[in-house]
Structure 1
C-alpha cells in the first residue's frame, strides 16, 4: 500500500490517480495532516509503519512541496541537486523531496468557489508535474519488494478524456506547435501520445465545425436488456429471457420520458440520437417498432442529423429487426463481435458464433446499411496477439465503415475480475497481460492504417486489463472518411448537453459559460425506473429546465 499525506485535503483524487499510474497494482490511500501543516520526514516515518511507501504533499500559497519515503535494502548517501531537489538512501530508507514556487500569492484555494477558480488549473498542473518528475527519477532498484514502477505514457494526464486538453487549447487559438509543446512540458506526455492526441483533436474540431452543435443537444436512449450478460460486463443489463415480462412496462415508462424531454427541449436543435444499452435489438421487432415510432413522433425528421442504434450482439439481429431500423431511417448501426475467436466467445458468455457475426453483418449490408461499426476488445482472457491478428483479418474481409478498439476494462462489478485474479504470481501475470495488450494495440493501429481508417475519438477508463489495472491503454474509434459518429465525439469532449432517457442513463448538462458539466442520473434498476418514472421526471424538471 502507498499512502499520500496531504497538508490539507485538496487535489487528492488527482494525486491518487497519478501515484496509481506509476505504481500499478498498489492500493493508494490518502491521509490529511490537517491545519495546512507540511508532512515532514518524521511524520512519513510514522505512516510508513502501515504502508510500503509514503508521499508527502504540501499545498502552500506561494510554494508547493512533494516528498517520498520508503524502506530499501540499498545503502548510499544523500545529495542536493542544482534544482534544489534533495534525495538520499541511508540506513535502509530512501528519501526524496522537491519544492516549487507558485505565482499568485492569494489564498485562492480557501475560497468557497475554489473548484471554479481560474488559478486552480495552473496550481494543479504545477503540483502534478512536480510529483511526476520526482517519481520518474526514483531508481527502480531502491523500490521495496513487491512494488514495480511504470512511467505513464500519458504523463500527468490521468483523466479519461485526454483529447479535451488539446481541443480546448486549439479552440483558444493556439497553434498546433504550441499545443504540442504544452503536452510535452506541462503534461509530460510521450511523443507518440502527443501526436495521437493532436491528430484526434484536429479531426474532431474539423468535424464539429460542420454542425451547429453549440446551441443544440443530443439524446441518449438506454435499453438495458441483453441476450445474456457477458463475463466482463459491469453495465446495467438484464438477460431478456429472464426479464422479458418487464419489457412492455419499461417501454411505457421510457416513452413517457422521451415525450417529456421532447416537450421541454422544443425549439432547440437536436444534433444526434444514440440508442444504446444493453443491447437494443434484444427487444422483439414489435417492441423496437414501438420505440422508434415514439422517437420519430417526439423528434420529427429534420430535427437531427445523425441516428445511431447500437444493434450490438449478432445473435439479436434479425432480418425483421433490420427492416424496422431501415424503415425509420436509422443511419448508423453497430454489429459488435468483440472477437472472432469462438473459444473466447464461449468463455465470456456471448452465446453466439463467429458465423452469426458474418451473417448479421452481410444481412445488414444487403439491406442497404452503409455505415456499420464493429467493436473489438483487446485483452480478452486467453487471447494472444496472434488470435487478435486473426480477428482483424476476418474483420478486414467484411469491411465495416468504422472499427472501435477497446482495451479490456476489469470492473469490480464484473465476474471476469475473480476469474483473472485466480492463481499465479500477480506481478508476472499482469506483466504478461500488459505485453500482450501492447502488441494487440500495435496491430490495431497497423490494421487501421492499412484499411484507411483514421482515429476520430478516444477515451480511457480506469482499470484496463493492462498496466495492472491502471489507465494505461486507450479506447480508440477509427472510421473511414465521412463515417465518423458525432455523438461519440460530443459525449467524449463534453461540449454539448446530452439528454438521457432510460434506466441507468445519465444526463450531462453542459454550461457553455463556465465550461462545466453536471449530471442528472436515472435509477439503474428496471423495476425502480418503471415505478418511479414520475419522480425522475420531476427531478429532471427541477435540475434541467428550471433556471
Structure 2
C-alpha cells in the first residue's frame, strides 16, 4: 500500500486520476493536508501554486517506484489535441509546442508528434468554424441489447415507448429550429447518435429526418451522420430513407469481427451481418462509412485485433475509429471486474501501434483523437480517414471552438462564447421517461441559456 499526502490540496481528484495510471485504487491511500498523523513511509507532496509541477513530482515518484512511464505523461484530460493547438498558437511554432509537451507535460515524443500532426491536419482541411455555425446532435437512447462495456444513455424499450419519446423529440427539434433561425445560427454538421438510431423503423427514421429538414436551415450543412452502429438493425429500407434524406455518413460498428467475442460482450449481431450491412450500404449509395473497433476486448489477442482490422480495411470503410476498452463506472464490466484495464496495458498498446502502421500503409491517416479514463494502458481513441474524409462533427466536438446543440435524452448542449473562449453546459435529463415528462422544462433551459432572443 502506497501512502501519499497532498499538502495544501483541497481537491485531490485531478491528482488521483494521475495516480490511477500507475496504481489500482486498492494499492494507495491519499492523506489530506488536514491529517497530521500519517505513517512514516508516507510520501509527502506540497502544492505551491503550480498544479502541473505537483503532477510532475507525483509522476516522477510513481515512475521510480513502479517502473511505469505512461506515454501521455501528466495529461489526464480528454482533449490533448486541443491543448497542443493552444500551445502552438501561444508559443508561435509547432517545435516550441512539442518541446513544452515533452518537458512540461512529460508526454512521450511520439505522442507529441501525433498531437501536432492531428492539429495541423485539422486546421488544413477544416480551419476555424464559422462564427454563427453550430454542430447539432440528436440522441436516440435505444439499443437492441446493452453491451458489457456500455455506460451511455441506452435503453431497451417497446414500440409505444419509442413513439412517446419521438413525439417529445420532434417538439424539441421544432423549438430549436425556430431559435436557430431567430438567432441566425446555421448548422455545419448534424449527428444523429445514441444508443442506436437504426433501432427505429424506416418510417420513424423518415419522420425524424423530415422533422429536422422542415425545422432547420440545412443549406450550409457539410455533413449529416447517422449512427447505424448495430449491423443487425440495418435494412435496405432504412438505408434508402437515409440516402433520400441526404445522409452522407453512417457508422457501422462491428467492434470485433469475431463471433465468440461478440457473444461475450453482449452484441446481438454476427460477423456475417457486418459484411451484409456494408454491402447494403454500398448498394444504397452511402458516401462514407465509419467502422469502430475496440482494442482490449476480453479474451482477444493482438492477432485477433489485427484480423478484425484487416477485414474492415478490405470492406473499404472511409473512416475507421479505434477505441481502447474502458472500464466505465456504470457498465456491467465495472461490476464484474473493476480493475480489468490494469491487466493488459502492453497488449492494448501493441494492438494500437500495430494498427496505426497497418492503417497508414493502407492509405489512412489519423484525423482526431480523444482519451477516456480507465482505459487499458492509458492509451487513446483515435479516428483514421481515407482520402481526407474527415468527420466534421468529431473534430469540432473535440476542439471546443463551436457551439454544439444537443437534443434528446442525455444530450448536453455546449454554448461557445468566443470572446472569452469558454463553454457553458445546458444539459437535458438522461432518463428518456423523465425527458418526455419534462420536455417543456428542456425547452425552457435552451430558451434561457442558448438563444439570445
State the TM bucket, normalised to the shorter chain.
over 0.9
Aligned length: 451
Matched, 1:388 2:305: yes
- Paired position in structure 1 for 2:173: 258
Q: What pairs up with 1:10-49 in 2 under 5 angstroms?
A: 10=10, 12-26=12-26, 31-33=31-33, 43=36, 46-48=37-39
Question: Structure 1 pair 430/293, CA: closer, same or farther in 2 (3 Å)?
Answer: closer
Matched, 1:207 2:125: yes
Q: 2:48 aligns with which of 55, 59, 75?
A: 59
Residue 214 of structure 1 and its aligned partner are, at CA, apart by: 3.6
Following the alignment from structure 1 to structure 2, what is the Cα–Cα distance between the partners of residues 59 and 313? 50
Q: 1:436 aligns with which of 331, 339, 347?
A: 347
Residue 395 of structure 1 and its aligned partner are, at CA, apart by: 1.3
Runs of 5+ unmatched residues, structure 1: 61-122, 141-147
Following the alignment from structure 1 to structure 2, what is the Cα–Cα distance between the partners of residues 463 and 401? 29
Residue 4 of structure 1 and its aligned partner are, at CA, apart by: 4.7
Answer 1 or 2: higher relative contact order, Cα 8 Å, separation at least 6: 2
Residue 259 of structure 1 and its aligned partner are, at CA, apart by: 1.3
Question: Which structure has the highest helix share of the two?
Answer: 2
Residue 528 of structure 1 and its aligned partner are, at CA, apart by: 0.4
Per-residue CA deviations over 1:213-265 (Å, capped at 9, x if unaligned) read 343111100000111111111111112xx432211111111111111111112
Please state whether the residue corresponding to 1:508 is helix, strand or coil: strand
- Paired position in structure 1 for 2:82: 164
Per-residue CA deviations over 1:422-469 (Å, capped at 9, x if unaligned) read xxxx7xx766522221221122112211211110000110011x23xx
Residue 520 of structure 1 and its aligned partner are, at CA, apart by: 1.5
Residue 31 of structure 1 and its aligned partner are, at CA, apart by: 4.9
Following the alignment from structure 1 to structure 2, what is the Cα–Cα distance between the partners of residues 18 and 401? 35
Residue 154 of structure 1 and its aligned partner are, at CA, apart by: 0.9
- Paired position in structure 1 for 2:362: 451
Q: Contact 2:341 / 2:374 at 8 angstroms: preserved in 1?
A: no
CA RMSD of aligned residues (A): 2.2
Please state whether the residue corresponding to 1:381 is helix, strand or coil: coil
> Structure 2-normalised TM-score?
0.93
Residue 10 of structure 1 and its aligned partner are, at CA, apart by: 4.7
Q: Give 1 or 2 for the bigger CA radius of gyration.
A: 1
Per-residue CA deviations over 1:456-485 (Å, capped at 9, x if unaligned) read 000110011x23xxxx11000000123110
Matched, 1:193 2:111: yes
Matched, 1:320 2:237: yes
Identify the range of structure 1 (439-448 vs 373-382) with the bigger mean alpha-carbon deviation.
Answer: 439-448
> Structure 1-normalised TM-score?
0.78
Please state whether the residue corresponding to 2:136 is helix, strand or coil: strand
Q: Contact 2:196 / 2:229 at 8 angstroms: preserved in 1?
A: yes
Residue 292 of structure 1 and its aligned partner are, at CA, apart by: 0.2
Question: Structure 1 pair 214/149, CA: closer, same or farther in 2 (3 Å)?
Answer: farther
Question: Structure 1 pair 343/125, CA: closer, same or farther in 2 (3 Å)?
Answer: same
Q: Contact 1:11 / 1:124 at 8 angstroms: preserved in 2?
A: no
Please state whether the residue corresponding to 2:367 is helix, strand or coil: strand
Q: 2:414 aligns with which of 508, 511, 521?
A: 508
Per-residue CA deviations over 1:65-92 (Å, capped at 9, x if unaligned) read xxxxxxxxxxxxxxxxxxxxxxxxxxxx
Question: Structure 1 pair 251/166, CA: closer, same or farther in 2 (3 Å)?
Answer: same
- Paired position in structure 2 for 1:151: 69
- Paired position in structure 1 for 2:387: 481
- Paired position in structure 2 for 1:303: 220
- Paired position in structure 2 for 1:126: 53
Following the alignment from structure 2 to structure 1, what is the Cα–Cα distance between the partners of residues 341 and 196? 31
Q: Contact 2:168 / 2:436 at 8 angstroms: preserved in 1?
A: yes
Following the alignment from structure 2 to structure 1, what is the Cα–Cα distance between the partners of residues 439 and 14? 36
Question: Structure 1 pair 329/221, CA: closer, same or farther in 2 (3 Å)?
Answer: same
Following the alignment from structure 1 to structure 2, what is the Cα–Cα distance between the partners of residues 379 and 152? 17
Question: Structure 1 pair 243/26, CA: closer, same or farther in 2 (3 Å)?
Answer: same
Question: Structure 1 pair 439/243, CA: closer, same or farther in 2 (3 Å)?
Answer: same
Runs of 5+ unmatched residues, structure 2: none
